[in-house]
């Protein structure tokens, strides 16, 4: 039982848990998370059943991810407690001891002077004096383990607590969130001025208290943060736009989706079928529609059904074309490109605690490598450097070597 407990609280077991968490996290990063079921059926036709079975579409809220994080936290807590207990333990000064390094004539005073110059505290028991200094250094291992524990804990919270949802928004419009936060999309582009794909949105985040992020650009792998929100460029789309004008000159514009029916009387109008990114024309003039493309629609084509006086006719239209139906005029505009934003809401305090955890971890590493504690036992016969302090051992060796040359 004790052997099993020692293994479960060992650093070796902790490294195994950390490796498993990294593997699971990589899977959660490679496979898009929290999308609708049909997204995985369409994009992973040969793998979607495995995704659903193993919850690879919701990795960071799955039971096994939570279990791994909890086990790692318990393991690190045990290691941290053990290191703290070890750091606080006081070593007794022996009444007699056999020194590791024997003194030659005059070397004892050199070593004592060197240690006193390091502002070491001296404690004598019989003929043996223990010199101690930089005692804060003995807490380096504890701070390292404690920093790792807090980092894993708050990183886990940061993966579990955030609320994530995806939202599309047309340029010039806004998304209103539950807490009153407003996200306005000023502009979206699939390509930059050189024709290179960039998928960038200019957005403004306005918090409920009126604070604004100003207009900032969010693109793939470059999210924008404000308050408790982080906005990612997730997907994109292209939709048709039709302006309807009546005989009096009043007009309104509509973004259209397949099967939308634009009509004044419910009988006459246009039934929007689809928007295609382009077309190809053969020698006879016949058009073949291009059904898919990546990036900007070069030669967009509207396909719709014209309904007028009880008759229906399927027709094609290009941006700039107009169609008169009854008292209405329909103008087909340039298609509108719009972003799909991933909105992540997480308390900002988690990131603050995560930063503090990393600072503790870094402080622990600094103490371990640069402020190792000094613990040297000295008698008239020789000295012993207690504990792992290679730099001190080397300094004493060099000091005694100089003493040999001085007294030769």
Structural element, H or E, at residue 85: helix 63-88
Q: Which pLDDT value is given to residue 322?
A: 95
Report in angstroms the alpha-carbon separations of 323 from 251, 305, 343.
14, 11, 40
**CB-facing half-sphere around the CA of 244: CA atoms within 13 A:** 14
What SS3 state is found at 264? coil
Residue 325 φ then ψ, to 5°: -135, 110
Helices 348-370, 140-160: inter-axial angle, 10-degree rounding: 160
Q: Do domains 101-134+372-407 and 238-335 have the same CATH topology?
A: no
> Which long-range contacts does 55-59 make (Cβ < 8 Å, 24+ apart)?
56/27, 56/28, 56/31, 57/31, 57/32, 57/33, 58/33, 58/34, 59/24, 59/25, 59/27, 59/28, 59/31, 59/33
For the domain spanning 101-134+372-407, the CATH number is: 3.30.310
Read off the pTM.
Answer: 0.60
Residue by residue, pLDDT tens for the chain (408 residues) are: 677 778 877 878 888 998 998 898 888 888 887 777 877 887 888 888 999 998 998 888 889 988 998 898 888 888 888 878 877 776 666 656 788 888 988 899 999 999 999 999 998 888 889 999 988 988 888 898 899 889 988 888 887 788 888 899 999 999 999 899 999 999 998 887 777 778 899 999 999 999 999 999 999 889 999 988 999 998 889 999 999 999 899 999 999 999 999 998 889 999 999 999 999 888 887 888 998 887 789 899 999 999 998 899 999 999 999 999 988 999 999 999 999 999 988 888 888 899 999 999 999 999 988 888 898 999 988 998 887 777 888 888 888 887 555 555
> What does the domain layout of the chain look like in residue ranges?
2-87+145-159, 101-134+372-407, 163-237+339-358, 238-335
For the domain spanning 238-335, the CATH number is: 2.60.200
Give the Cα separation of 394 and 388 in Å (integer): 11
Q: Which pLDDT value is given to residue 335?
A: 95
Give the position of tokens 């009043």.
250
- Strands 261-263 and 336-345, sheet pairing: unpaired
Q: Which pLDDT value is given to residue 184?
A: 96
Q: Which pLDDT value is given to residue 405?
A: 57
Structural element, H or E, at residue 252: strand 251-256
| Token representation of residue 370 | 């640069």
Give the Cα separation of 25 and 32 in Å (integer): 12
Q: Which pLDDT value is given to residue 351?
A: 83
Buried b / exposed e across 168-207, counting CB within 10 Å, b at 16+?
Answer: bbbbeeebebeeebebbbeebbbeeeeeeeebbbbbbbbb
Q: Which pLDDT value is given to residue 25?
A: 87
Q: Which of 38, 2, 140, 155 is nearest to 80 (CA)?
A: 140
| Token representation of residue 128 | 């043996």
Give the Cα separation of 205 and 196 in Å (integer): 27
């Amino acid at each position: 039982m004790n052997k099993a407990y020692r293994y479960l609280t060992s650093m070796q077991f902790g490294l195994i848990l950390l490796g498993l968490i990294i593997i699971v996290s990589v899977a959660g990063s490679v496979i898009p998370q929290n999308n609708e079921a049909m997204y995985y059926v369409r994009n992973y036709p040969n793998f979607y059943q495995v995704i659903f079975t193993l919850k690879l579409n919701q990795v960071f809220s799955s039971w096994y991810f939570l279990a791994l994080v909890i086990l790692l936290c318990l393991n690190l807590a045990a290691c941290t407690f053990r290191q703290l207990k070890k750091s606080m333990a006081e070593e007794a000064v022996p009444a007699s001891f056999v020194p590791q390094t024997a003194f030659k004539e005059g070397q004892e005073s050199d070593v004592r002077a060197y240690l006193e110059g390091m502002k070491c505290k001296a404690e004598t028991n019989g003929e043996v004096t223990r010199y101690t200094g930089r005692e804060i250094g003995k807490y380096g291992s504890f701070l390292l383990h404690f920093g790792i524990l807090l980092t894993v804990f708050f990183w886990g919270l940061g993966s579990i607590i955030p609320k994530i949802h995806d939202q599309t928004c047309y340029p010039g419009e806004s998304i209103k969130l539950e807490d009153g936060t407003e996200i306005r999309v000023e502009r979206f582009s699939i390509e930059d001025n050189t024709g290179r794909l960039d998928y960038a949105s200019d957005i403004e985040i306005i918090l409920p208290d009126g604070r604004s992020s100003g207009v900032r650009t969010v693109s793939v792998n470059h999210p924008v943060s404000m308050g408790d929100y982080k906005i990612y460029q997730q997907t994109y789309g292209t939709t048709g736009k039709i302006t309807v004008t009546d005989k009096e000159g009043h007009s309104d514009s509509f973004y259209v989706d397949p099967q939308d029916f634009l009509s004044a009387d419910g009988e006459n109008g246009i039934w929007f079928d689809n928007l295609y990114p382009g077309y190809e024309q053969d020698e006879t003039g016949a058009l073949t529609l291009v059904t898919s493309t990546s990036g900007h629609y070069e030669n967009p084509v509207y396909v719709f059904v014209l309904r007028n006086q009880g008759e229906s006719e399927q027709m094609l239209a290009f941006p700039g074309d107009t169609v008169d139906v009854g008292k209405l005029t329909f103008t087909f505009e340039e298609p509108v490109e719009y972003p799909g934003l991933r909105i992540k809401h997480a308390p900002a305090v988690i990131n603050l605690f995560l930063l503090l955890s990393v600072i503790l971890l870094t402080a622990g590493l600094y103490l371990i490598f640069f402020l190792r504690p000094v613990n040297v036992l000295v008698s008239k016969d020789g000295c012993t450097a207690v504990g792992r302090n290679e730099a001190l051992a080397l300094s004493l060796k060099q000091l005694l070597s100089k003493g040999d040359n001085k007294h030769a």
